[in-house]
Structure 1
């Protein structure tokens, strides 16, 4: 397969930002996972430059994506590699957690939102953030927890012009409706992949509403094996890898689906982007259903 294959069709984020539905997640640039030993920053910058060369124009990041020692940080790598940014590049970030100097963390409050947004503005070197997700909870959705105070604070910063669009992450339909009653929501970011499909109804609601659905851990996040053999069989028919088949399945699941696989390797980046050129057949869809 051609590793420079054109990414999948575009999505109009918020009605005004045209983005390729196969984007890039920056979490693994500073280290191999959420926290860990620092990776070579020049390799990270090379990956980011290749992201843009391949036509990817959505980068998903967070100011708290950093190595355990705090020396290598995703936002700094993005700024160093790509600033001044291409006019069509959309950078999404997320807030919702406050990290303490000792490495511990706590949930953010509405009163923390300005500081968190300003930290992202400074580290990315911009005057306005394209998309800011409010992330609530940790690895499980905090059902019944209100996000109104925090999302309302972000909505106020949007009104000030510091944020262009708002999203929500790790949510259920109750959170979705609560947020939309406060301000427009253009994207939802939940845990969803080939082996985890619990949010299909929320995905459908997003699609019907013209809202992007952007899974974190689109390839499982390294937590367990997502291929039960079906991805391997489909991949073989396309001369592809199971990872590429998993990404192709995601993109085929809905026109509102955005995929943001992350990596610290140029080779893996090229493999991921090539998945945008796979067109699944009826036989493939039947096997993967």
Structure 2
């Protein structure tokens, strides 16, 4: 059994630690180019596995290729217990943008690129990235998700998920093929998916919040600061602990390029919150602005 906070969750037939690691921050500024400290980036990945983390989130679009190649250099051949989750559906342009790339030939190429850069014959879990930088956008995902389902049938992908998706797109994806996770923006201040999280939990589907600490606009709340002060803890630690407490199907993938910060995140997620703390945090108002 994992000694990391939150224990484990099962994604299909893959058991992962609920406390995982998101590799996006290992790339350079704007998630473009190599890290300033390559050896430090490799050390963070090795430390994550040494600490018992068995869930690493990445994408060949990070860098591009940078984080996948770092993961391969640091950890290949991979421990049998380690499961790497990647995503497809967007590429990168020279300005650092994320133009959509969800046509069947785009997706097939991206899956093969992830296989190549990670040094794998099959990907454990692939999320289809939808929407854009402003958030989820309504529209059918059928053609794109059917392509991933075909790649799954061909043996190149074990499990499927969706990212940056509306509730309608989650339902549409599930009508095409089973999904094991939804990866959307969610944190203490951004609570639009509360009902979706509860429905997914009832069905045994994981919910993986990206930007669990606010992303490019760090969380700020007087209630969060007050609880953190009472616990003599950092506000970001309290925010992670609240997410693990929020629902058993929530999996955390906070990112960092520092081994010390990685250990701090793990310790923070393990904070014990009292019922009063949880009530106060639950009452933090929704942030309706796009992030």
Give the TM-score normalised by the residue count of structure 1. 0.91
**Please, which of 130, 133, 147 is the counterpart of residue 153 of structure 1?**
147
Alignment equivalent of 1:270, drawn from 236, 248, 263: 263
Asked if the contact 2:88–2:110 (Cα under 8 Å) also holds between the matched residues in 1, the reply is yes
Contact 1:28 / 1:34 at 8 angstroms: preserved in 2? yes
Contact 1:21 1:257 survives alignment (8 Å): yes
CA, structure 1 residues 280+163, in 2 after alignment: closer, same or farther (shift >3 Å)? Answer: same
Q: 125, 129, 137: which one pairs with 2:123?
A: 129
Residue segments in structure 1 that go unaligned for 5+ positions in a row: none
CA drift at 1:198: 0.8
Q: Offset at 1:276? A: 3.3
SS at match of 2:113: helix
Asked whether 1:39 is paired with 2:36, we answer yes
Match of 1:24 in 2: 21
- How far apart, in 1, do the equivalents of 2:158 and 2:24 lie? 22
Alpha-carbon distance in 1 for matches of 2:29, 2:199: 33
Contact 2:122–2:156 under 8 Å retained in 1: yes
Distance in 2, Cα, partners of 1:216 & 1:205: 19
Aligned residue for 1:7? 5
Secondary structure of the residue aligned to 2:182 is: strand
Q: 1:112 aligns with which of 76, 101, 106?
A: 106
Q: Find the aligned partners of 1:118 and 1:47 in 2 and give their Cα distance.
A: 26
Unaligned 5+ segments in structure 2 are 283-291
In structure 2, how many angstroms separate the alpha carbons of the residues matched to 1:173 and 1:19?
25
Q: TM-score, normalised by structure 2?
A: 0.91
For residues 112 and 37 of structure 1, the distance between their equivalents in structure 2, rounded to whole angstroms, comes to 24
Contact 1:63 1:73 in 2 (8 A): yes
* 2:225 aligned residue: 232
Q: Residue 27 of structure 1 contacts residue 33 of structure 1 at CA under 8 Å; is this kept in 2? A: no
Query: Aligned-pair distance for 1:241?
Result: 1.3
1:140 to 1:209, Cα distance in 2 relative to 1, 3 A: farther
Residue equivalent to 1:90: 83
Q: Please say if 1:56 is aligned against 2:53.
A: yes
The equivalences for 1:274-289 within 5 A come to: 274-289=267-282
How do 1:179-190 and structure 2 match up within 5 A? 179-190=173-184
Aligned residue in 2 for 1:73: 66
Q: Please state how far the C-alpha of 1:102 moved relative to its aligned partner.
A: 7.7
1:172 aligns with 2:166: yes
Q: Does the aligned pair in 2 maintain the 1:98–1:105 contact within 8 Å? A: yes
Task: Tell me by how many angstroms 1:206 deviates.
Answer: 1.0
C-alpha RMSD over aligned residues:
1.9
Partner of 2:185: 191
Question: Which residue is 2:239 aligned to?
Answer: 246
Report the 3-state secondary structure (helix = DSSP H, G, I; strand = E; otherwise coil) of the residue aligned with 1:106: coil
Aligned residues: 280
- Asked if structure 2 preserves the Cα contact closer than 8 Å seen for 1:7 and 1:55, the reply is no
